[in-house]
Structure 1
Amino acid sequence: MNIMPIHKAALVSTSYSGRHDTAQSTRELLIEVEPVTSAATNETVFQIFKAQEQLISLPVVEDGRPIGLINRHIFMESLARPFHREIYLRKSCIAFMDKQPLIVEADLSIEDLSFRVLSDGKKVLTDGFIIVKDGTYLGLGLAQDMLSAIAHLQAEKNRLVMESIDYGSIIQRSLSRASREAMREHLIDHFLIWEPRDVVSGDFYYFQHFGDGFIAVLFDCTGHGVPGAFMTLIMSAFLHGTINAQSCRNPGALIAEINRKVKVAMGQLDHGQDTGAEGHSDDGMDAAFCWFDATTRRLTYAGAHMPLMLMLPQTQGITVIDGDRHGVGYASTPMTQTWQNHEMVLPEGTAVYLFTDGIFDQLGGDKRIAFGKRRVRACLTEHAGRPMPEQRQALLAALAEYQGNEPRKDDISALGFRV
């Protein structure tokens, strides 16, 4: 029997030709192999395998429809057993045929094919699979071609996702450009740390000057990466829709208003009171809001799980003012929740610091424990006399040394300024 010419690499189970890496459907994995019928003897199959050394499997077809698949290795091993050649050589080839090979339609997607291959077990990895069109035999497919196509598809999907995330980072940075420019204009001595863990961040910052003072906001939304970035867009929208020249002077009331808007918009009521609903979200943010009145030098701060740190001039330590123990927008936070304003008059030269918890919670050191507020305070105290940009560098250097080879745990953000 004559066998249709086949590219040598196409049927070698240990080598991949690279021709199918862009395949979208099973048809694109097709290798045309002339089948035999059940009338063919094992001697005929033996001669075919002998002539085609790269052929790993041979389909058996009746009336155009596949009925089995003969694996080269199993066939040759069987004939090599004592007396098997004498007994079976002139008998029908179905004696060594797999009667239940994997048979798939040509229009099956590569992803669906991969599930079929996995469900059929290890034999498909060595035997390959039969490709048909409406049940009619077309040819063979190899598992390694499918795996390469799957890897290529996955790589392409990852590339598209990463391109989208990278562009999302550009959008996220663009949204905060006005705040950065306003800080450079109105804060003579300041630093900003904004380091996403995963390209885009769940941390965000806001700064706006109102002539007689300014408001500075730092917030840390649920999660990091893409989910966190989505939350920053939501929170930023509510912040921009709420803040004005009057509301900014009352940070506690500003946080309360944003809390109400988030809970209503996202349906984040008390889940314990709504046992029949499913698929609840429970997302929100920790935040610090600061209004500084330049005329009176009065700072008004309100915080949700986020502290305020102060370094007063001619002092030796950091003063920490803790925020309230309620996050913003979460299902467990009441709609009527209020946040306390803390007011203080700051002498000239006072340094003000806001941190998200990413830097505090970063693991490192010999004991793999959190960096913590104590180390942050110690670093700030040590470098208190230096300009804010130098304090930033010292703080990041201390964190990097402590972190060592530990992976970054969360987004890291901080804002420091001197008034």
Structure 2
Amino acid sequence: MLNKIAKFAYNVRQIQLNVNFYKEQLEAKEDMLAMTTKFLVDMQQSLEERNKELSETHKEIFDSVKFAGLIQKSLLPDVNVLKVFLKDVVFRVIQQISIGGDTVFIKNTNKGVMFGLLDATGHGIPGAMLSIAGSLMLNELTSSMEIDNPKILTKLFNYQLYNTFNRDSYSIGHMEGTICYFSPMSNKLIYCSAKGKGFHIPFIGNINPLSNTKNAIGDNSAEEFENFEININKGDKIVLYSDGLVDQFGGESNKKFSRERLRKLLIENRDKNVKEMAVIIENESNMWKGSNAQTDDISFKLVEF
């Protein structure tokens, strides 16, 4: 009988020990759970504060870029200047974000008009800074002297751009594009194209790409450029564009829009006026892009003689 009581007492003590052990384990886990919960709550609060800071910073950056875009747009020329010598002119500058590296140029001379389209290295803020600097340089050059030769203007612009940005043994920026001169007195379009892109759409005849040189503006202070000439008849059109237009990915196979697709679009709509053509090109580009991100800055200019 005594042995049974002793054995029972022993078992009770073991149970109490086990209960105390599991109680301690449970309390330890509860403490760990409380610490983990506090850590997660603190982490969530920290993330919320960080997200708020990032949202505020993003808004500040977005607002700054948006305002910078307004400044850049204010530097775009008035197309009415060209209409003194031409039937009609229209251009589009669609930057990848609010600001970018594409710009257009227009300047009257005594006997005609200079006009062009330029595409700076990169896009976004770096492209915009180079684009604005280039626009100011061109305006300064054409305001300080009478220039009606695209090759001379391109060489002067090249020298100034190189010595401003690229003279210290490494290149940080250049521009590509086409500068044209037209005088109604000669009915000739003279243009200098430094890796520029464009088409001549004659009133009658085949649509042909504009010739160009393979040298960019600003890469070398002694770079050589070349003038090209086209006889212009009433009803002819010129299209200048940046590579962002034809390099945009999209379509069913997610391929580039391509120069050939643009050429076919121009052939199909050659009888329309430049305002109608501009709307068609922009709409076709947007449809091609679809839900894809814009690959690069996009710009084009259409001139009708």
Instruction: Specify the TM-score bucket, using the shorter chain as the normaliser.
Output: 0.7 to 0.9
Matched, 1:418 2:304: yes
Rate the CA distance shift 1:303–1:85 in 2: closer, same or farther, 3 A. Answer: farther
Q: Does residue 297 of structure 2 align to residue 407 of structure 1?
A: no
| Map of 1:213 onto structure 2 | 112
Measured in 1, the distance between the counterparts of 2:62 and 2:284 equals 30
2:39 to 89, 110, 128: 128
Alignment of 1:199 onto 2:89:
no
CA drift at 1:397: 2.4
- Residue 225 of structure 1 is matched in structure 2 by 124
Q: Counterpart in 2 of 1:241?
A: 140
Give the distance between the partners of 2:101 and 2:44, measured in 1 at CA: 40
Which ranges of structure 2 fall in alignment gaps of 5 or more residues?
1-15
Q: How does 1:6-405 map to 2 (within 5 A)?
A: 86-87=20-21, 126-128=37-39, 142-176=42-76, 178-183=77-82, 186-244=85-143, 248-271=147-170, 281-315=171-205, 317-329=206-218, 333-405=219-291
CA deviation profile, 1:86-113 (whole Å, cap 9, x unmatched): 24979xx999988xxxxxxxxxxxxxxx
Instruction: Answer yes or no: is the 8 Å Cα contact 1:308–1:323 preserved in 2.
Output: no
Cα distance in 1 between the residues matched to 2:243 and 2:19: 75
The structural deviation recorded for 1:314 is 1.6
Deviation at 1:253, TM superposition (A): 2.0
Q: Using structure 2 for the length normalisation, give the TM-score.
A: 0.85
Distance 1:96 1:383, change over 3 A: closer
Q: Give the secondary-structure state (helix, strand or coil) at the position aligned to 1:219.
A: strand
The whole-number CA distance in structure 2 between the counterparts of 1:291 and 1:187 is: 12
Query: Alpha-carbon deviations, 1:290-339, whole Å to 9, x = none?
Result: 01112111211111111331111222x2111231111111xxx3221011
Assess, with a 3 A threshold, how the Cα gap between structure 1 residues 409 and 295 changes in structure 2: closer, same or farther.
same
CA distance in 2, matches of 1:398, 1:389: 14
Residue type of the partner of 2:294? R
Partner AA of 1:254 in structure 2: L
Distance in 1 separating the partners of 2:197 and 2:47: 51
User: Residue 142 of structure 1 aligns to a residue in which SS?
Assistant: helix
- How many pairs were matched up? 288
Counterpart-to-counterpart distance in 2, 1:392 and 1:95: 70
Deviations 1:245-274 (Å, cap 9, x if unpaired)?
Answer: 855312122122222212222244544xxx
- Aligned-partner Cα distance in 1 for 2:143–2:87: 23
Separation in 1, partners of 2:255, 2:180: 30
Alignment-mate amino acid for residue 224 of structure 2: T
Asked whether the 8 Å contact 2:248–2:257 carries over to 1, the reply is: yes
Query: Percent of counterpart pairs with the same letter?
Result: 21
Mapped partners of 1:352, 1:229: distance in 2: 25
Work out the CA distance in 2 between the residues paired with 1:195 and 1:124: 54
Per-residue CA deviations over 1:13-57 (Å, capped at 9, x if unaligned) read: xxxxxxxxxxxxxxxxxxxxxxxxxxxxxxxxxxxxxxxxxxxxx
Partner-residue secondary structure (3-state), 1:204: strand
Alpha-carbon distance in 2 for matches of 1:85, 1:265: 83
Aligned counterparts of 1:84 and 1:158: Cα–Cα separation in 2: 58
Q: What is the DSSP-based 3-state SS (H/G/I as helix, E as strand, rest coil) of the residue aligned with 1:215?
A: strand
Alpha-carbon distance in 2 for matches of 1:382, 1:196: 26
Distance 1:162 1:83, change over 3 A: farther
CA distance in 2, matches of 1:184, 1:89: 92
Aligned partners of 1:83 and 1:155: how far apart in 2?
56
Displacement of 1:355 after TM fit?
Answer: 0.5
Task: Evaluate the alpha carbon distance shift between residue 95 and residue 192 of structure 1 in structure 2; reply closer, same or farther with a 3 A threshold.
Answer: closer
Residue type at the aligned position of 2:54: Q
Unaligned runs of 5+ in 1: 1-81, 99-122, 130-140, 272-280
Rounded to whole Å, the distance in 2 between the matches of 1:126 and 1:325 is 65
- Name the Cα RMSD after superposition: 2.8
> How far does residue 183 in structure 1 lie from its aligned partner after superposition?
3.8
For residue 401 of structure 1, report the CA deviation from its aligned partner.
2.6
Q: Secondary structure at the match of 2:193?
A: strand
TM-score normalized by the length of structure 1: 0.63
- Report the structure, 1 or 2, having the larger helix content: 2
Residue 229 (structure 1) shift:
1.0
Asked if 2 retains the 8 angstrom alpha-carbon contact of 1:179 and 1:208, the reply is no
State the alpha-carbon separation in 2 of the partners of residues 269 and 254 from structure 1.
23
| Matching residue of 1:43 | none
